[in-house]
Structure 1
């Protein structure tokens, strides 16, 4: 701080000092001492103010820095959670897609096994030693399902002769069990498709009642019952299955 200008001092002050017998040198010395003291006080006060201002500045700066740090941490935590959620969703979608592909592959393979079995049905009807007894069994099953007195029977064109041969025996056995006789008429106008593996279809009540007793229908029925066993044989037991029939 700059020194006080001596000219600003009141003249009466110097005059009173003269009356007290104090020399100008003493006055100057006291004034310099007072000025030094005042300047020191001013410097200390300025330093105190500056220190306090710096402390408040540092505190405010620290608060702002901490506030921004907290915001940044919250932002990255939020982003991290979003990324983790997206990762879980993506992982779940991939697992579901993989599971569906696996299930489809299994079903396709199972369907392939059943299709192969279906294609082999034609070998059964081609076996002249086995097919007559099988066809008789299919006819008997159809008759016992209907238990009707008037029945129309439809078969393959190439099976017509064999059906006519087996029919009397089937009707006799039906009568022995049922106690009544059924009149069965072979439909010679509408035959089963040539690609049918074999068997018969029977109608009663003017076509209102129908029984399908073909090799394909029997395979489909059996397949529906043993598909779980086929799956187990092909792919092993299902670890998620808790109950068994």
Structure 2
């Protein structure tokens, strides 16, 4: 009976072969499964690393781009400011030269006696209208006293015709203007407490301030308040 069920060597070898094939197949399938899982994890990790590196590169590029842009802006601003300062300096030099030349020509006005007398009359009248007093004095250069007296006579006459009242104007010979003055007068009222400086030097100084916007427009074609654009 036992002999009937006994396996021959060939049958045992066959069974072993089947078991070996089965184990090998399971091992191959397991190995394949492990390889697939490993490949999947590798792909995920690779993708993650690629994304991280890409993000790092993008961040570095963005930072460098911002730095380059900032550097470019600073350079452009610096160049623009230097250009602006050079332009402003050149314009100021031109204005200074203009007023300097005007100052040197002030004394030429007094050389034309007829014209100078008319100018003095108007300067005296301007002071008289502003002070609106019955008695005034004027300060002038000693060399101008004769022509100032004529201008005073004209001013008094015109003042009376314009405002219908008298004004007495005299020269304050105790305190003449400096001989190196370009000319003009100082009109004094209220017993010497108030004066209106109508000397040529003072009028030019006021012109530098009050007429400067108009001069800028004439010379440079722009308003004083206009901002310089880069």
TM-score, normalised relative to structure 1: 0.77
Residue 173 (structure 1) shift: 2.8
Establish whether residue 175 from structure 1 lines up as the match of residue 178 from structure 2.
no
What aligned pairs does 1:76-95 form with structure 2 within 5 A after superposition?
Answer: 76-95=61-80
Establish whether residue 113 from structure 1 lines up as the match of residue 89 from structure 2.
no
Q: Flag structure 1 segments of 5+ consecutive residues without an equivalent.
A: 1-15
What aligned pairs does 1:1-245 form with structure 2 within 5 A after superposition?
Answer: 19-221=4-206, 227-236=212-221
Whole-angstrom CA distance in 2 between matches of 1:147 and 1:108: 41
The alignment partner of 2:102 has SS state of helix
Q: Flag structure 2 segments of 5+ consecutive residues without an equivalent.
A: none
Cα deviation, 1:47-100, whole Å, max 9, x if unaligned, reads 320221122022112212212211220232133123313422432343234224
The alignment partner of 1:120 has SS state of helix
Matched pairs, number: 225
Quick check: 197-206 or 120-129, which moved more? Answer: 120-129
Cα deviation, 1:93-124, whole Å, max 9, x if unaligned, reads 43234224313322331232122122111111
The alignment partner of 2:137 has SS state of strand
Structure 1 or 2, whichever has the larger Rg, is 1
Cα deviation, 1:181-221, whole Å, max 9, x if unaligned, reads 22333222322233321110012113332212222344455
